[in-house]
């Protein structure tokens, strides 16, 4: 009898997990626990590079190596090392010695005079530019065909190896260090765009979404395969017997009272499906956003845990090796090894999740000589993907203009990411030049920030489930993080108050105050990292995740050019860093009104409707399938949303309803 009941449960689960494939070759298997772990492991592997390399030792090492080749700005003849050594011999631990070590120096790079403190900033600016170009170039290959995972692993290999090669960099080859920093940072940024593009797919095919009872049963149409997943498959995340409970539905991040009906603009198009029952659409959005936020938060938390562990090892290593550049290079070698080794589980466990094929014209160009393995064939194929990728970027921008909530979010994200990058770089510069903190002390700042980042990534999600104001709208959590973030520059401005100056404590006058602000910074960055990524994923039109995450990355990285440049101009004009806190205060506050007006339900609904209108894309198991008069599902042959989109299609898309 028990065997019959078990068989019946397996049959019901198979029925719930069977649905129409959107295109030939689509991997519609439910997301497995091992696949999610593989996705987490890349954060575990690569987040150490961000915290320990980019945010800590690479800029310090580049500045130190440039300083060893530079001369004092004051006379442009005295070598910086000579001045530092003279001061060290007389008073090795005094503040004046620390100030001498931070004196302005210049180095001549290809005949151009560059401040040694700016050397690392220029290096990162170049890497950001190349990163944006690379992200655009690979987005097409990530969205179409079976290249998403392959590109991720190739970029991880390049990035990790170049970080290891820092071991060979010396003062005489400091330009090689800059080149390695550019290549490694470019590889990391592009690989993380690919990793982010997996998130909507992991959520879309997760059993708690597919088996929630919302989607209903969709019978396969002729020419389309279905996926039948047995509950006995150990690789799949299993559900309980009811199969109808949403994942953590009691903690849904969106209110259930908002309308999910399609806007009149999209509903008027003949190719758009009738809207589902209101409660079904709301529950699906709520379940997917809740799951997406939790996966994103856990990924960030796992990455920060790894970074914290490696950073502690790095600080001990540098301290025991007496703060030498050799010790910093040893640390970077270890970071590269960590990145490479822990990417292996990602290679083994993360499924490729192929995207739809290229449109006919681009596919014909990419195929070159059919069946040919000649170098010319590969070149033609790569060129076709490259051309299509850049064309897709402009199409993506054109499509994004039709989606009000994506425009609002990206505008706010542009300012917010600039504020994050500028605050981080300004704080490190302030700590080193104004508070004269040593390398190990700067590393400790990152340890504290990382620890609080873990708490923020996991804590904000838990807090939002318990506080009604945060639970009602995920954007409220982002706005709360933004308000807390604003306290950092405001605290720095306290140093202008005569009473605070006379007291000698407060307003960033003592080194230990940096540790307090590092804790606040880590707490808010953990929240931003987990919530912004998952929320944006809900707004993306289905079928073009990599293309829209490429736009997300370009918005992120592109903005990082402006804030540091403005801060640099303020420092040049005033000779001090503290006036830059006025600019940071304004920059952090600007995203708030833009993000406040983002409506996640409307954005997700309009994104799916736009995908259906342009390309006939139907999310697997979703409510996008057209219904005939008899109520039966009529399957279509969908492609990526950017496939045959033309500029004249803009005229068919009125502005989404408010």
Q: Give domain status of residue 360, yes or no.
A: yes
Q: Give domain status of residue 623, yes or no.
A: no
- CA distances from residue 357 to 104, 239, 641 in whole angstroms, order as listed: 55, 32, 12
Higher pLDDT, 602 or 167: 167
Q: Give domain status of residue 589, yes or no.
A: yes
- Please write the tens of the pLDDT for every residue from 96-142: 444 445 567 788 888 887 777 777 777 877 887 788 788 778 777 77
Higher pLDDT, 582 or 402: 582
Give the Cα separation of 60 and 64 in Å (integer).
6
Secondary-structure breakdown of the chain: helix, strand, coil percentages, each rounded to the nearest 5: 70, 5, 30
Give the Cα separation of 61 and 77 in Å (integer).
23
Q: Give domain status of residue 264, yes or no.
A: no
Q: Give domain status of residue 366, yes or no.
A: yes
Q: Give domain status of residue 473, yes or no.
A: yes
- Please write the tens of the pLDDT for every residue from 388-407: 777 777 777 777 777 888 88
b/e sequence 222-239, b meaning 16+ C-beta within 10 Å: eebeebebebeeeebbeb
pLDDT higher than 80, residue 338: yes
Q: Which domain holds residue 303?
A: 33-209+282-603
pLDDT higher than 60, residue 258: no
Give the Cα separation of 454 and 467 in Å (integer).
20
> Which tokens is 437 given?
């903190």
Give the Cα separation of 325 and 330 in Å (integer).
9
Q: Give domain status of residue 417, yes or no.
A: yes
- Shortest CA distance to 640 belongs to which of 23, 223, 190, 19? 23
Three-state DSSP class for 24? coil
Q: Give domain status of residue 424, yes or no.
A: yes
Q: Residue 161's domain is classified under what CATH number?
A: 1.20.1250.20
* Number of domain units in the chain: 1
Residue 16 near residue 243, CB atoms below 8 Å: yes
Average pLDDT over residues 267-285: 42
């Amino acid at each position: 009898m028990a065997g019959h009941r078990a068989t019946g449960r397996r049959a019901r689960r198979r029925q719930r997990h069977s649905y129409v494939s959107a295109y030939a070759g689509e991997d519609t298997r439910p997301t497995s626990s091992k696949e999610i772990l593989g996705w987490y492991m890349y954060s575990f592997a690569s987040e150490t590079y961000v915290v320990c390399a980019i945010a800590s030792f690479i800029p310090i090492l580049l500045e130190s190596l440039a300083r060893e080749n530079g001369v004092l700005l004051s006379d442009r003849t005295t070598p910086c090392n000579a001045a530092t050594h003279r001061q060290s011999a007389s008073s090795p631990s005094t503040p004046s010695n620390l100030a001498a070590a931070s004196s302005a120096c210049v180095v001549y790079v290809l005949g151009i005079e560059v401040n040694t403190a700016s050397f690392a900033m220029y290096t990162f600016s170049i890497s950001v530019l190349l990163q944006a170009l690379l992200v655009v170039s690979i987005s097409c290959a990530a969205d179409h065909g079976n290249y998403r995972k392959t590109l991720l692993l190739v970029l991880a290999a390049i990035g990790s190896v170049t970080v290891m090669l820092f071991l060979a960099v010396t003062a005489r080859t400091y330009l090689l260090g800059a080149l390695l920093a550019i290549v490694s940072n470019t590889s990391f940024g592009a690989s993380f765009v690919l990793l982010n593009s997996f998130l909507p797919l992991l959520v879309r095919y997760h059993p708690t979404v597919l088996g929630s009872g919302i989607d209903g049963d969709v019978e396969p149409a002729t020419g389309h395969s279905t996926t039948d997943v047995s509950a006995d498959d150990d690789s799949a995340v299993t559900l309980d017997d009811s199969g109808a409970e949403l994942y953590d539905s009691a903690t849904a991040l969106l209110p259930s009272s908002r309308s999910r009906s399609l806007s009149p603009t999209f509903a008027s198009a003949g190719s758009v499906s009738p809207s589902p029952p209101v409660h079904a659409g709301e529950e699906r959005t709520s379940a997917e956003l809740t799951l997406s936020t939790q996966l994103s938060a856990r990924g960030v938390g796992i990455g920060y845990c790894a970074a914290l562990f490696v950073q502690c090892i790095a600080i001990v290593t540098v301290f025991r090796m007496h703060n030498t550049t050799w010790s910093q290079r040893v640390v970077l070698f270890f970071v590269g090894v960590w990145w490479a080794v822990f990417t292996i589980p990602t290679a083994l466990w993360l499924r490729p999740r192929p995207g739809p094929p290229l449109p006919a014209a681009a596919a014909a160009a990419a195929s070159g000589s059919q069946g040919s393995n000649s170098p010319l064939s590969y070149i033609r194929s790569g060129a076709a993907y490259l051309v299509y990728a850049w064309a897709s970027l402009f199409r993506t921008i054109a499509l994004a203009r039709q989606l009000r909530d994506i425009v609002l979010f990206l505008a706010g994200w542009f300012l917010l990411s600039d504020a994050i990058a500028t605050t981080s770089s300004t704080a490190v510069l302030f700590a080193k030049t104004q508070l004269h903190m040593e390398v190990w002390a700067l590393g400790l700042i990152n340890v504290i920030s990382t620890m609080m980042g873990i708490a923020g990534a996991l804590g904000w999600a838990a807090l939002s489930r318990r506080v009604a104001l945060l639970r009602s709208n995920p954007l409220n959590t982002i706005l709360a993080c933004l308000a807390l973030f604003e306290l950092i520059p405001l605290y720095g401005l306290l140093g202008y108050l005569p009473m605070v100056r006379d007291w000698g404590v407060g307003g960033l006058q003592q080194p230990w105050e940096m540790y307090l602000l590092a804790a606040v910074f880590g707490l808010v960055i953990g929240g931003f990292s987990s919530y912004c990524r998952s929320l944006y994923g809900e707004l993306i039109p289905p079928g073009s995740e990599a293309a829209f995450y490429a736009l997300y990355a370009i918005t992120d990285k592109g903005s990082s050019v402006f804030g540091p440049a403005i801060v640099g101009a303020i420092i040049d004009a005033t000779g001090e860093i503290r006036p830059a806190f006025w600019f940071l205060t304004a920059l952090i506050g600007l995203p708030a009104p833009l993000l406040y007006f983002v409506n996640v339900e409307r954005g997700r609904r309009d994104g799916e409707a736009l995908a259906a209108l342009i390309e006939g894309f139907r999310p697997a198991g979703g409510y996008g399938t057209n219904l005939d008069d008899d109520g039966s599902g009529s399957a279509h042959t969908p492609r990526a949303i950017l496939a045959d989109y033309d500029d004249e299609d803009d005229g068919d898309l009125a502005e989404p309803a408010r």
